[in-house]
Each structure stands twice: as structure tokens, then as C-alpha cells.
């Protein structure tokens, strides 16, 4: 029988502020010309652009992909595999609250 324990579950389902801020940075950076049209979910093997994009939030490509997929599942990011990453309405509302400094509401 499968079980969900501690860190394994948390690392794949967390929607805490640190996760949101990491993905927020990726959303912002994905708007840059060098990333427009980039497939963030593509292969990681011998893909320097993938490593560069992941390093923007200080993680490995596989972790970056997990973070983005989690935010898609939770409804913060539109479900697309090509940059630029785009906020959903809920993600946009959260980002706006965070941007203006209303951290408690965000």
C-alpha cells in the first residue's frame, strides 16, 4: 500500500511562500526575449538553457519543473510548456498583492 510521508509529500505539494517566490521569479524571467519560446518542460540532458533557467531560482532543472508543475496544478500558472510562463487569474491576484506589499493577504 502506498503511503505519503513527510518531506517527500511536502516537497511535491507545498504551496508555501518560498515556492511561490521561486516560481514568481521564473515567471518574471521567462518574459525576457532569451526565454520566449523556450520549452521549460523539455529534456534536461545536455541542455544548458534548461540549467540556466533553473539556476534563476537556485535549483536543479528537475526541481524547477516540479515547482512549475505544482503551481500549474494549484491554479497559479497557465498550463503551457512554452515560455513565457503566465499567471492565471488567481496567480495574478496573488502576484499583485505581493507586489504592493500586502504580504498578509498574499
For the chain, give the number of residues: 106
pTM of the model: 0.79
Query: Residue 21 has what pLDDT?
Result: 87
Tens digit of pLDDT at every position of the chain (106 positions): 444 444 444 444 455 778 788 899 999 999 999 999 999 998 878 889 999 999 998 999 999 999 999 899 989 999 999 999 999 999 999 899 888 887 776 6
Of 63, 70, 68, the residue nearest 85 (C-alpha): 68
Query: Residue 101 has what pLDDT?
Result: 82
Q: Give me the residue spans of the domains in the chain.
A: 32-106
| Residue 103: other Cβ atoms inside 10 A | 9
Query: Residue 104 has what pLDDT?
Result: 74
DSSP label at residue 71:
H
Amino acid at each position: 500500500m502506498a503511503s505519503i510521508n513527510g518531506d517527500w509529500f511536502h516537497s511535491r505539494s507545498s504551496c508555501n511562500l518560498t515556492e511561490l517566490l521561486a516560481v514568481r521569479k521564473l515567471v518574471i524571467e521567462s518574459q525576457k526575449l532569451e526565454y520566449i519560446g523556450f520549452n521549460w518542460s523539455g529534456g534536461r540532458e545536455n541542455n544548458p538553457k534548461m540549467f540556466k533557467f533553473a539556476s534563476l531560482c537556485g535549483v536543479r532543472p528537475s526541481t524547477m519543473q516540479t515547482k512549475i508543475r505544482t503551481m500549474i496544478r494549484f491554479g497559479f500558472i497557465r498550463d503551457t510548456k512554452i515560455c513565457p510562463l503566465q499567471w492565471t487569474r488567481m496567480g495574478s491576484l496573488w502576484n499583485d498583492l505581493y507586489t504592493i506589499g500586502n504580504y498578509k493577504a498574499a
